[in-house]
Each structure stands twice: as C-alpha cells, then as structure tokens.
Amino acid sequence: MSDQYPPASLHPDTLALHTGIAPSQYGENSEALYLSSCFVQPDAAASARRFASEEDGYTYSRTSNPSVTAFERRLAALEGAEAAIGTASGMAAILLMGMGLLKSGDHVICSQSMFGSTIKLFASEFGKFGVATTFVSQTDVAEWQAALRPNTRLLFAETPTNPLTEVCDIRALSALAQGAGALLAVDNCFATPALQKPLALGADLVIHSGTKFLDGQGRVMAGAICASRKLVDEVFAPLIRTAGMVLAPFNAWVVHKGMETLAVRVQAQSRHALRIAQWLEAHPAVERVFYPGLPSHPQHALAMAQQEGVGGAVIAFSVKGDTPERAREHAFSVLDACRICKLATNLGDVKTLICHPASTSHGRLSEEQRQAAGVGQGLIRLAVGLEHPTDIETDLARGLDVVG
C-alpha cells in the first residue's frame, strides 16, 4: 500500500511509535482497528486490478488488512527490513518460510537447540515432504560448515536459544550461507529488534513470534517474517493468500500497540534479569545459570557485542539433584513454591513466568533430541518481567532454600 508513514530515516524509538498507516479521515491518534474480513470495491475494473495485484487496495483479509499492514510496517521499521509479513503465530511464520523457500530434495541446517516445535516441524513434518534437515550445535560454526551440501538451501538459527540462551555468531553463519548460495534465517524472539538486528549482521530473514516480547503483555498469538521486499511480495504474500496462515486483524492491532513500548520493556526486564541471574548464581541449590549477561556464559563476549551489551530477559537455571528424577523433583518444588512467578509456558510478558522445559515446551521431543538440546530434568526457565527483582528473588528462595 502506498500510504507509507512516516519516513524511515527516523530513529527506532520514534519509528516504534509512529510507523503504521496514515490515520483515517477522523484523525485518530491511537491507531484504528480495521475489524473487517472484506473491503468494498469502488468499481468492477478496480476490483479486477486489485485481485490481479496490479493496483494497491484491500480486498479480503486473507490477502491483506490495514491493521495487519500497520503491524508489518512497524516491525519492518524496527528490524531495518524492507518488508515484513504477519502470520497467525510464530510457528505459522516458520511454516510459511519453509513452504515458501523449500521443495522436495532441498536440505536445511538447523541449530539443535531451537524452540521445541521448530525442531519437530523440520524433523517430522518437512521430512514427510522430502526436505532433509541436519541438526548441528548452535555455537560450533565448524559443525554448520561440515553439514553444508550442494542442495543446502537454508540455515536456521535462534539466538539466544530457548531455553538455554546459547548465542551464535550471526555474521559467521551469514558468511557460510552466502558462500554456499543458501539463505540464513534467524529467530529473533528472545533478543527482539530492541537488542539485536540480525539483518544488519547479514541474515536474510528474521522470524518472530509476536506472542512474546512484541506483544509484551501475553494477550494474543502472532508471528511474522521480515525479509526483502522481493521475497515478501513474490513468495510469501502469494503463498499466504493461497494457504491462509494469516494474522488476525485484532491480534495485529494489539501487537502493533505493544511494540510502542518494546524497547523500554526489554531494557528494564533485562536489567532485572541480570540482577536475578547474579543472585541465582550465588544460591547453593543452583547447579548452573545460563544467562548471556553473566561472564560465566560461554558466549558472553559475543552476546554483548551482538546484543548491544544487554543479556535479554530470559534466564535458564538448573537445580541440583543426584539423579534426573531427584533434579526433576527439586525443579517441581521450586515451581510449586512460587506465588509471584506464574507457572506458565510463555515468555516476553511483563509478568514473570516460570516453567519446566523438559515436561512442557520440549516435552514432545525424544529423550535423544532433548539431550541434544541440553534440556535436563533439573532445568527451569524464568522469563523475567517488570516486578521488583527482590520480590522475584524472595519468591524463588521459598523453593530453593528447601532444596539447598
């Protein structure tokens, strides 16, 4: 659509507030919600041109919708992308990417510590259609290189990963992909464009679950792909019109508003997370803390360089236990003792959420896949919100002090 608004030369903080579509004739300051499944056409000839994509204009909300356009423009502006396309969820974005870029006989290299459903989608579902995926260590560039084949079409990483917060070198993977004539996609859910812009570091596509930090208040499901104008217009937009994994206008509108506060939320939640991670590291019942902002994190230096010196708002930590069963028991008792941290499998909310990945987000993986992803029975994920960090520490101590 041609009513681009405002100019892209502004700073990200400004773009987060003002990018979208022009206000309607009423001049609303808070963006309107266009809850309409179809759009009335001015005349039959214009309708024909719009359906043939020869003219801008809305027709049907499986193809496009003004509230979705507003969301796409704001996210693209924040990621420094030429274009973005909204999807029903983060997984729908990954499905759209796979369907759009891959065909039978193609090969994908994917980090083995990706989001659980991502691993399942590539290993089980795309496998059925003749797309082979090799899973490699997220952090070992040599493993990515060794996995390259002449038919490798896509490299897919997530940094930091869910839940272990492993960080990969986006520039190094981009160089590998370019050399092999493949594309690099980065799932930027955890860092968000507030901390990390994968496209500027050489990635070709950015994947988002809008459900997480972009919404920020745990209200709706949403997803998106950010990519070149050509890929969006020629591959993903026609495919979504055909296949229908489209973002609902209401959800688009909620996330569009959520992005207005993305940077301040992520910065503040990350400050709290660093404090809590330091506190956890000193607790006798805690075996290990995984947080990119801590010097003990194996890719601390890389993370600080790649994420504007900020570790993000998600921490993973393992509690002690002689056997996997004991560790699981301890983890469960920490979870069950929490009153402020809510036991829920989401992240990016301003309310702190706590979960046990081995029995939830990674519960459907085989034991082998779970071990490769480093998700042990004593592991807990803490998605830090905006509560006072002392209250979160007191909440965690209730269970940890019993274990320790």
* Binding positions for ligand PLP, rule: CB under 6 A: 89-91, 115, 158, 162, 187, 189, 209, 211-212, 221, 223
312 or 378: CB nearest ligand PLP: 312
115 or 135: CB nearest ligand PLP: 115
CB of 353 to ligand PLP, least distance (A): 12
CB of 334 to ligand PLP, least distance (A): 21
CB of 220 to ligand PLP, least distance (A): 9
CB of 397 to ligand PLP, least distance (A): 27
79 or 187: CB nearest ligand PLP: 187
21 or 207: CB nearest ligand PLP: 207
CB of 319 to ligand PLP, least distance (A): 22
CB of 25 to ligand PLP, least distance (A): 35
Which residue's CB comes closest to ligand PLP? 90
224 or 341: CB nearest ligand PLP: 224
153 or 212: CB nearest ligand PLP: 212
Q: What is the CA radius of gyration of the chain?
A: 21
